[in-house]
Amino acid sequence: MTKPAYQRVLLKLSGEALMGDDPFGINRATIERMVADVAEVQKLGVELAVVIGGGNIFRGVAPGAQGMDRATADYMGMLATVMNALALADAMRQQGITARVMSAIGIEQVVEPYVRPKALQYLEEGKVVVFAAGTGNPFFTTDTAAALRGSEISAEIVLKATKVDGVYTADPKKDPHATRYESISFDEAISKHLAVMDATAFALCRDQKLPIKVFSIVKPGALKRVIMGEDEGTLVHV
Ligand X SMILES: Nc1ncnc2c1ncn2[C@@H]1O[C@H](COP(=O)(O)OP(=O)(O)OP(=O)(O)O)[C@@H](O)[C@H]1O
Ligand Y SMILES: O=c1ccn([C@@H]2O[C@H](COP(=O)(O)O)[C@@H](O)[C@H]2O)c(=O)[nH]1
Q: Tell me the binding residues for ATP.
A: 12-15, 55, 59, 162, 168, 171
Q: Of 58, 168, 202, 215, which one interacts with ligand X (CB under 6 A)? A: 168
Distance CA 186, CA 28 (A): 35
Distance, CA of 13 to CA of 180 (rounded, Å): 20
Closest CA relative to residue 76, chosen from 90, 88, 65, 87: 65
Rounded to the nearest angstrom, the gap between the alpha carbon of residue 227 and the centroid of all alpha carbons in its chain is 15
- The rounded distance, in Å, linking the Cα atoms of 201 and 107 is 25
Which residue ranges make up the annotated binding site for UMP?
54, 74, 135-142
Considering the rule CB under 6 A, would residue 54 count as an interface residue with ligand Y? Answer: yes
Listed residue (229, 80, 56, 83) closest to 159, CA to CA: 229
Nearer Cβ to ligand X, position 42 or 216? 216
Contact string (CB under 6 A) for ligand X, positions 177-206, x = contact: -----------------xxx----------
140 binds ligand X, rule: CB under 6 A? no
Q: Which helix (H) or strand (E) holds 213?
A: strand 212-216
211 binds ligand Y (CB under 6 A): no
**Alpha carbon of residue 70 to chain centroid:** 23
15 binds ligand Y (CB under 6 A): yes
| Residues flagged as binding site | 12-15, 54-55, 59, 74, 135-142, 162, 168, 171
Q: Does 140 bind ligand Y (CB under 6 A)?
A: yes
- Selected range binding ligand Y among 34-42, 107-115, 139-147, 187-195, rule: CB under 6 A: 139-147
Contact by Cβ (8 Å): 226, 220: no
d(CA 156, CA 53): 20
Q: Is 170 in the site for ligand X (CB under 6 A)?
A: yes
Residue (124 or 175) nearer to ligand X, CB: 175
List residues binding ligand Y (CB under 6 A): 15, 53-55, 59-61, 73-74, 77-78, 80-81, 134-135, 137-138, 140-145
